[in-house]
Amino acid sequence: MVMEALKIALEVVNEVHKKIKPLIGWEKAGETVKIGADGTPTKRIDVVAEETAIEVLEKYGGILVSEEVGTLNLGEGEYIYVLDPIDGTYNAIKDIPFYASSIAIGYRDAKTIDDLFLGVVKNLVTGDIYYGIKGEGSYLVKENGRKKKLEVNKKSELREISISAYGLSRESLELLKNIRVRLFGATALEMCFTVSGALDAYINLNKNARLVDIAGAYVICKEGNAVITDVNGKPLNMKMDVREKSTIVLANPILHRKFVSILGNKWILKPIAFGVVVKDNKEAIELAKKAINYLKSKNIPVYCDKFLKSIVNEKEIDKKKISHVIAIGGDGTILKAARIVNNEPIPILAINLGRVGFLADFSKEELFKAIDLVISGNYDVIKREKISCKVKRRRYNALNEVVIITKNPAKILEFSLYINNKKVEEIRADGLIISTPTGSTAYSLSAGGPIVDNSVSCFIITPICPFKLSSRPLVVGSQNKVEIELNSDKRALVVIDGSVEEEIKKGERVEIEKDGYSYFVKGKDFYEKLKEFTKMV
């Protein structure tokens, strides 16, 4: 069966090669004749190539997935074909000598790209044929008949390699500045160049690599021991649909991990060491001891906060030496962990022992499963915006909120609210809360503020028991500078995340701006937690 499929694939690419050869460089070959099933313009040369392939495949039956026709039932037949009749259409039209024809084959019931068992890519300029058979390896057959087994190289030093890379940002280019970057304009052929050693990696960060673009080369590269995932190191898992798209990182295992750690999930690399922060109660301490023993059994060093350190006889947390933090307790414990790591990109694995625990993504029963996810690199990180608070030339940062309240109970305060140095409102209230989206489910919510999704970049300004009914919460983009001036003769307290306090008097201001981020290991979805939260309150 495999040899029959290989025969079909070779017949397709060879017939396409013959039919388009006279069209290369012809002006009218590049005319747009329709819009393909994938939503992109179809050129005349694409139509000729695809019709040629269909003519061959109709003899065998099956299902065709191709960029121009979409999904086409060719009648009875046991195979599904994923076709890119011309890989590098623009190059072919302009007679730039770098274009190919690509086809992958699986059985008719194939669901994802990993169900395909054969890939063939023909370089339509040189006549070289690359092919891969699942479980049997990958090969390059030169036009003169010489055959070579393909295996991705073992290079590990970034400064020694050449890559093909699309969609690199200015920041990415800076990180990769010592690497030679080449752009050829033919995805499948560039991927084959990677497994053959002509290139050392293929990267596409644009999320526009389609199933039809990569399917043939995907099988070839996998069989050549290359690693191919999305930019965050996750399997592509593309369905048999012409609309499926993804980012791509393709390289040998060592380079792949390096590129993913630079361009995507930088925490995919094995944890260096964990910090452990706990709530001051028996349950949290006992769970922390179990976590420490579990980490040590995995040969991962552990550091503890000041409180826990004295109990378990471990070293105190040094944020320069840890890669992750486990916080066991309620929201207060998690805020404490965030203060310890400050703005360092150190993900917090938050384990809930509190009642509400909106900041925590994992239950105590999920502790070891969550640790395993981190160790394996199979997890996502979410960023939570923080705010910077300047009071009397001292600067603090907050993950939840900054609260300005009366020092004396039942005494109203008067404030002026400024946004970008412009006075916006005079407010009379018991206090004022300036919260992040993370803090929108904390004190701000209790004071009547809105719940805001963590992905929104903003400040929420919420009066506490305002004098006027018209004093309502205000949502302000976090690119703005917010200042609160105290107009009352009475002194006020500035409370940052419930712990740090400053005292201000009449005429003094509190300045609020966007700060850095706190990083969390992602567990439950925001709206899943919100659903649980609303049931509890």
For the annotated catalytic residues, the residue numbers are 331
Annotated binding-site residue? 444: yes
Spell out the SS3 assignment of 365-378.
Answer: HHHHHHHHHHHHCC
Instruction: List Cβ neighbours of 348 (8 Å cut-off, separation of 6 or more).
Output: 324, 325, 326, 327, 334, 337, 338, 341, 518, 519, 520, 521
Tokens 């070579």 identify what position? Answer: 148
Tokens 């001036």 sit at which residue?
Answer: 485
Q: Is 75 annotated as a binding residue?
A: no
Round to whole Å and give the CA distance between 369 and 447.
Answer: 37
Question: Binding site annotation covers 283?
Answer: no
44-57 and 2-20 helices cross at what angle (nearest 10)? 150
Helix ranges (H only) for 143-252 are 170-175, 187-196, 211-223
86 is in an annotated binding site: yes
89 labelled binding-site residue: no
* Residue 411 marked ligand-binding: yes
* Dist CA 418 CA 421 (whole Å): 5
Reading the block at residue 96, the tokens are: 């730039």
Tokens at residue 500, please? Answer: 């740090």
Q: Is 135 exposed, middle or buried (0-12, 13-18, 19+ CB in 10 A)?
A: exposed
Is 194 marked within a binding site? Answer: no
CA distance linking residue 107 with residue 110, whole number of Å: 6
Count helices and strands in the chain by DSSP H and E runs: 13, 33
Q: Is 74 annotated as a binding residue?
A: no
397 marked ligand binding residue:
no
Which of 400, 386, 380, 374 is closest to 523 using CA atoms? 380
| Residue 84 annotated as lining a ligand binding site | yes
Instruction: Say whether 108 counts as a known binding-site residue.
Output: no
- Is 336 a known ligand-binding residue? yes
Contacts of residue 261, Cβ cutoff 8 Å, sequence gap at least 6: 267, 268, 269
Strand pairing report for 79-87 and 100-107: antiparallel
Q: Is 331 annotated as a binding residue?
A: yes
Pick the closest to residue 85 from 114, 115, 117, 45 (CA basis).
Answer: 45
Note whether 435 and 444 are within 8 A (CB).
yes
Signed CA dihedral, 287, 291, 296, 298: sign only = positive
291 is in an annotated binding site: no
130 is known to lie in a ligand binding site: no
Can you give the length of the chain in residues?
537
CA dihedral sign of residues 370, 374, 379, 385: positive
Quote the CA–CA distance of 303 and 112 in Å, as a whole number.
Answer: 43
In three-state secondary structure terms, 312 is: helix
Annotated binding residues for Mg(2+): 67, 84, 86-87, 213
Annotated binding residues: 67, 84, 86-87, 213, 331-332, 336, 400-401, 411, 428, 430, 441-446
